[in-house]
């Protein structure tokens, strides 16, 4: 089932080391590379502390005064891979035998040392070459050793070139000279010379700004970047490492079915961030649409860490769900329109185990929470685990208070906003969409708050809050209603902040624009004790929840984290050298994202994917995401404090702990998020100030300026002329930019991702679709009587079908799962950070802050005064606790968007 996923690494080298001992020259001199404990370097009058190993000079101390060289040993560590073992079975012995012959003759890898200095004529010095051969050792890694004959006057070693002599690619973790005197962090796939004759370039763990680059490395630095940029031509091959831009012109499949055609996202008509270019041929039906593939799309080789990091448990498991489990579910649930007949049937999803062999019973009573899979020799069973929300309180989803609480401490805390103007008014053209003023009147509001205060007092005291999906959804209502099995409204949901700090819903407005001669239809629903109105209220909430689910998945989650981040990754690799300090700061925050995004384009956001089949907007889902990007996305508002202020959920206040004062004091997402935001800011501040000791260094950094320019003008090129883009002239500018990117990849993504199963795994709490219109919208006599006689059936009919619900739940179970070796923020120190004493100390402080945040969040969740966090049956807010165990835990903040 996973074979199609691991095809990209099926040529990976995984050769057991030969037992041939390493042969040395008995007449060579001893090898010594001195380690400088502290080096002070003057730059523009300032003194900087450099690291020990990073500035090490290969000082050649000879055993004889007449020797002009010394012998330096190097060891390459190669990560074994599963596919390397499989190669000998599935591919045959040609590559394996040839590679063993290379190993036997001591020609596994060719290494070349590069000096940081020029020769006496001003040219780059000749490299020092040596072949590496297997080293017999007890390590889990495969070790290859070589020995260099290095002239005494060679100077500092700044880089090493690697040529892989095997016919299979190899994943090199690092290269070490003389037992750790010099370290070259690699963590990279190295192609076979038979696929590409160009040598790979690896630099030491010392970071350089462009102007600081040693003269001997300048051309190599630029050459490495040129390789990563490519020439923008041809179809990309799996072993390549080329980063380039393209539009989202590959989510449709017009050659398969005209109904699967989708507009290109990216450009004037449908603005959107750019994705990585693959260069696949265009479709025969639409020359502007790129052809599809049944395999994961191309990503630059180092972005696909298949088999190397267990973090891809998430990616490979997701692929197995999309490629195996979901087709099996669809084969069993043959009636795509069949819903659930009772809440008992929904509950059975978590209590009964199912044999995945197709049967005739019609209803699949349990489907995969994949880590709960039970397999024996004859049968495979799959079963959902009960989501924490349902486990703690089976009826919490029914309560109005929980409906409101989850806007502050649930899956989508990014939509709620303060009401600052009255009346509520649409910005859409009334000639097209009908009267702009909301039907939620002053009288309705004051009736619901029952004399506590007037509307004017509520506005002045900042007591009214809104979920507003009216203008975003209304243009799609008529188009969506032409599709089978779904409906849509524009919606507004008004809430009131009570004296206890909790929210209470006041009213829901649902709107249908004019259509086919019918005028605009809108209706306001309020909580009620009257039986009919009470059920209408429950149904209205179900519609709003479907709207919120769609917005969460398409905008808060996909667009603002996955989609917006891909251009940062592309630009970082195209313009910031591997030895640039900002590249090394951002690197852990950008890992794995492109691989996950390619899987999303393969089977989640594509025309026949889960989003398009199981969410209310259906085929218009990604176009709606584009509208949200065009209307609302701003880089400067992706910073957490700015986001809160822009929604009226905070005001700037220098005297407040985080520089802002929250409008709702007990706002769990904001309170915990600001702790994380401030810690990231302090870490970024120390880091940036260390590498840019003088303010003018930011503006004079050519790589940095090219990076920021390309993010704005190409990666997010449809927004290039917006006035809100931050300048990048000072250290403070740079700190804000990198902090925002680091936050989006870590805290923002975690807040909207890892609670998906706990909050949406029981889909009545967060249905992804509303399939039927409200009973009181132009009802027939039969429709109204059906509602009056059995309103529960009407609610069940509006919920997702069996296949829609189980398909989404299967995916949410995977998306919410932490891998066994997840890289949580503040845990793993990068080699380049550890090499600089100042940066190492700052990281240790940052790591300590993450541990302190854990304690603070635990303390908050025990505070009975914080009613949005603690109460009978409530799921405590832990999504921004930095650390977690493996599995679906509802907590844990990885560095990057790794699933």
Contact 88, 11 (CB under 8 A): no
829 is annotated as an active-site residue: no
Q: How confident is the model at residue 136 (pLDDT cuts 50, 70, 90)?
A: confident
Q: Which pLDDT belongs to residue 170? A: 93
Distance CA(152)–CA(113), nearest Å, equals 14
For each of the domains in the chain, give its residue range(s) and CATH number, in order of start.
69-224 (2.60.60.20), 414-553+764-800 (3.10.450.60)
Alpha-carbon gap, residue 81 to 166, rounded angstroms = 15
541 pLDDT higher than 90: yes
DSSP 8-state symbol, 638: G
- Residues 833, 214: Cα–Cα separation, whole Å: 20
Query: Is the pLDDT at 151 greater than 80, yes or no?
Result: yes
Q: How many CB atoms lie within 10 A of CB 730?
A: 16
Percent of the chain having pLDDT more than 70? 83
Q: What is the pLDDT of residue 64?
A: 41
pLDDT confidence of 273, banded at 50, 70, 90? very high
Indicate if 557 belongs to the active site: yes
Residue among 142, 270, 470, 562 flagged as catalytic:
562
Q: What percent of the chain has pLDDT over 90?
A: 75
Summarize pLDDT for 625-678 with one digit per residue, the tens: 999 999 999 999 999 999 999 999 999 999 998 999 999 999 999 999 999 999
Lowest mean pLDDT among 47-56, 205-214, 392-401, 573-582: 47-56
Contact 107, 133 (CB under 8 A): yes
Question: Between the ranges 75-79, 383-387, 549-553, where is the mean pLDDT highest?
Answer: 549-553
| The pLDDT value given to residue 321 | 67
Q: What is the reported pLDDT for 354?
A: 56
- Does residue 414 surpass a pLDDT of 80? yes
Answer yes or no: 899 catalytic: yes
Asked whether the predicted pLDDT for residue 140 surpasses 50, the reply is yes
Block residue for tokens 């349902």 = 390
Name the catalytic one among 5, 543, 547, 557: 557
Short-list 688, 682, 680, 809, CA closest to 748: 680
The active-site residue out of 573, 612, 753, 861 is 753
Phi, psi of 32 (to 5 degrees): -140, 130
Q: What's the pLDDT score for residue 139?
A: 73
pLDDT at 871 over 50: yes
CA 726/CA 733 separation, integer angstroms: 7
Q: What is the reported pLDDT for 364?
A: 33
pLDDT of residue 734: 98
Nearest Cα to 384, choosing from 373, 365, 403, 369? 369
pLDDT at 4: 30
Q: What pLDDT is stored for residue 248 in this prediction? A: 98
Q: How confident is the model at residue 101 (pLDDT cuts 50, 70, 90)?
A: very low
Strand bridging mode 380-382 / 374-375 = antiparallel
The mean per-residue pLDDT over the stretch 258-267 comes to 97
Q: How confident is the model at residue 452 (pLDDT cuts 50, 70, 90)?
A: confident
Q: Is the pLDDT of residue 365 over 80?
A: no
Query: Given 582, 749, 765, 853, which residue is catalytic?
Result: 749
Say if residues 756 and 762 touch (Cβ distance below 8 Å): no
41 beta partners: 48
pLDDT at position 894 over 60: yes
Residue 503 has pLDDT above 60, yes or no: yes
Residue 703 and residue 580 in contact, taking contact as beta carbons nearer than 8 Å:
yes
Out of 205-219, 358-372, 381-395, 581-595, pick the least confident.
Answer: 358-372
Q: What is the pLDDT of residue 308?
A: 58
Say yes or no to pLDDT of 90 above 70: no
Are 497 and 462 in contact by the 8 Å Cβ rule? The answer is: yes
Peptide bond into 423 cis (omega under 30): yes
Would you say residue 206 has pLDDT above 50?
yes
- Residue 560: the pLDDT is 98
**Listed range (269-278, 295-304, 338-347, 460-469) with the worst mean pLDDT:** 295-304
Cα(63)–Cα(60) distance, integer angstroms:
10
By three-state DSSP, how is residue 299 classified?
A: coil
Q: Is a pLDDT exceeding 80 seen at residue 41?
A: no
pLDDT tens figures, 316-339: 666 666 655 666 666 566 577 889
Query: DSSP letter at 311?
Result: G
pLDDT band at 135 (very low <50, low <70, confident <90, very high): confident
Query: If phi over 0 gives left and psi between -120 and 50 gives alpha, with beta otherwise, what is residue 704?
Result: alpha
- pLDDT higher than threshold 80 for residue 456: yes
Q: Tell me: pLDDT of 17 over 90.
A: no
When mean pLDDT is compared over 68-82, 583-597, 799-813, the highest value belongs to 583-597
pLDDT of residue 320: 62
> Can you tell me the distance from the alpha carbon of 611 to that of 217, in angstroms, rounded to the nearest whole number?
48
User: How far is CA 120 from each of CA 117, 125, 160, 169, 215, rounded to the nearest angstrom?
Assistant: 9, 9, 21, 38, 13
Q: What pLDDT does residue 82 have?
A: 57
CB 169 within 8 A of CB 192: yes
Spell out the alpha helix ranges (H) of 417-482: 430-433, 442-448, 455-460, 470-473, 477-480
Of 163, 148, 183, 174, nearest to 108 by C-alpha is: 163
769 labelled catalytic: no
Q: What is the pLDDT of residue 607?
A: 96
Least confident piece of the model among 44-58, 342-356, 594-608, 795-809: 44-58
Locate 380 and state its tokens.
């495979």
């Amino acid at each position: 089932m996973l074979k199609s996923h691991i095809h990209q690494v099926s040529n990976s080298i995984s050769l057991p080391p030969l037992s041939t001992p390493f042969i040395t020259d008995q007449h060579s001199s001893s090898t010594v590379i001195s380690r400088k404990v502290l080096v002070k370097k003057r730059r523009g009058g300032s003194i900087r502390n450099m690291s020990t190993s990073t500035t090490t000079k290969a000082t050649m101390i000879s055993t004889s005064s007449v020797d002009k060289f010394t012998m330096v040993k190097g060891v390459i560590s190669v990560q074994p891979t599963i596919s390397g073992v499989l190669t000998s079975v599935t591919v045959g012995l040609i590559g394996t035998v040839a590679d063993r012959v290379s190993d036997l003759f001591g020609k596994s890898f060719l290494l070349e040392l590069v000096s940081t200095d020029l020769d006496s004529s001003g040219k780059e010095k000749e490299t020092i070459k040596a072949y590496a051969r297997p080293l017999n050792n007890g390590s889990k890694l495969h070790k290859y050793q070589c020995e260099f004959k290095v002239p005494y006057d060679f100077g500092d070693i700044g880089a090493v070139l690697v040529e892989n002599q095997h016919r299979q690619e190899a994943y090199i973790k690092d290269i070490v000279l003389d037992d750790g005197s010099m370290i070259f962090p690699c963590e990279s796939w190295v192609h076979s010379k038979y696929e590409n004759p160009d040598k790979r370039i690896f630099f030491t763990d010392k970071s350089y700004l462009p102007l600081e680059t040693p003269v001997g490395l300048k051309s190599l630095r630029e050459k490495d970047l040129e390789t990563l940029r490519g020439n923008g031509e041809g179809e990309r091959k799996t072993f390549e490492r080329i980063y380039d831009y393209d539009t989202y012109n590959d989510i449709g499949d017009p050659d398969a079915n005209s109904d699967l055609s989708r507009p290109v996202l990216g450009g004037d008509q449908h603005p959107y961030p750019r994705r990585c270019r693959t260069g696949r041929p265009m479709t025969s039906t639409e020359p502007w649409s790129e052809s599809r593939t049944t395999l994961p799309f191309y990503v630059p080789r180092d972005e696909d860490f298949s088999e190397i990091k267990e973090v891809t448990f998430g990616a490979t498991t997701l692929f197995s769900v999309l490629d195996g489990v979901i087709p099996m579910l669809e084969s069993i649930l043959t009636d795509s329109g069949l819903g659930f007949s009772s809440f008992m049937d929904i509950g059975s999803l978590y209590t009964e185990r199912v044999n995945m062999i197709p049967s005739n019973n019609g209803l699949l009573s349990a489907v995969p929470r994949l880590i709960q899979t039970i397999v024996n020799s004859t049968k495979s069973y799959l079963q959902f685990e009960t989501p924490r929300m349902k486990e703690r309180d089976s009826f919490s989803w029914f309560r109005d208070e929980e409906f409101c609480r989850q806007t502050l401490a649930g899956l989508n805390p990014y939509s709620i906003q303060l009401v600052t103007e009255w009346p509520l008014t649409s910005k859409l053209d009334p000639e097209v969409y009908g009267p702009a003023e909301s039907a939620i009147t002053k009288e309705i509001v004051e009736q619901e708050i029952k004399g506590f205060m007037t509307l004017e007092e509520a506005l002045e005291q900042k007591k009214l809050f809104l979920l507003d999906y009216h203008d975003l959804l209304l243009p799609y209502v008529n188009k969506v209603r032409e599709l089978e099995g779904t409906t849509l409204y524009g919606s507004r949901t008004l809430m009131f902040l009570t004296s206890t700090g909790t929210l209470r819903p006041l009213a829901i407005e649902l709107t249908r624009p004019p259509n086919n001669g019918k005028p605009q239809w809108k209706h306001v629903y309020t909580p009620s004790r009257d039986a009919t109105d009470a059920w209408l209220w429950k149904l209205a909430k179900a519609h709003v929840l479907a709207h919120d689910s769609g917005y969460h998945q398409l905008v808060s989650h996909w667009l603002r984290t996955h989609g917006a981040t891909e251009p940062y990754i592309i630009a970082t690799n195209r313009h910031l050298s591997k030895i640039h300090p900002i590249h090394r700061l951002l690197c852990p925050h950008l890992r794995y994202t492109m691989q996950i995004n390619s899987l999303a384009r393969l089977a989640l956001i594509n025309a026949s994917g889960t989003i398009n089949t199981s969410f209310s907007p259906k085929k218009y889902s990604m176009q709606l995401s584009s509208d949200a990007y065009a209307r609302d996305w701003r880089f400067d508002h992706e910073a957490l404090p700015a986001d809160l202020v822009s929604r009226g959920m905070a005001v700037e206040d220098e005297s407040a702990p985080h520089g802002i004062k929250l409008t709702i004091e007990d706002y769990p997402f904001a309170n915990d998020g600001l702790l994380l935001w401030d810690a990231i800011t302090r870490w970024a501040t120390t880091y940036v100030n260390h590498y840019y000791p003088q303010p003018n260094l930011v503006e004079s950094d050519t790589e940095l300026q090219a990076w920021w320019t390309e993010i704005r003008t190409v990666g997010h090129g449809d927004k290039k002329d917006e006035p809100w883009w931050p300048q990048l002239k000072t250290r403070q500018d740079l700190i804000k930019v990198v902090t925002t990117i680091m936050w989006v990849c870590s805290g923002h993504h975690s807040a909207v991702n890892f609670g998906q199963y706990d909050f949406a795994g029981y889909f009545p709490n967060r249905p992804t679709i509303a399939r039927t219109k409200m009973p009181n919208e132009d009802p027939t006599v039969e429709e109204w009587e059906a509602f009056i006689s059995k309103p529960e059936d009407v609610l069940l009919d509006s919920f997702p079908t069996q296949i829609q619900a189980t398909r989404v739940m299967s995916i949410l179970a995977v998306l919410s799962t932490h891998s066994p070796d997840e890289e949580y923020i503040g845990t793993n120190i990068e080699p380049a950070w550890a090499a600089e004493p100042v940066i190492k100390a700052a990281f240790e402080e940052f790591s300590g802050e993450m541990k302190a945040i854990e304690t603070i969040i635990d303390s908050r969740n025990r505070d009975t005064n914080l009613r949005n966090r603690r109460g009978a049956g409530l799921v405590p807010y832990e999504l921004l606790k930095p650390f977690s165990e493996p599995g679906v835990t509802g907590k844990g903040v990885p560095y990057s968007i790794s699933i």
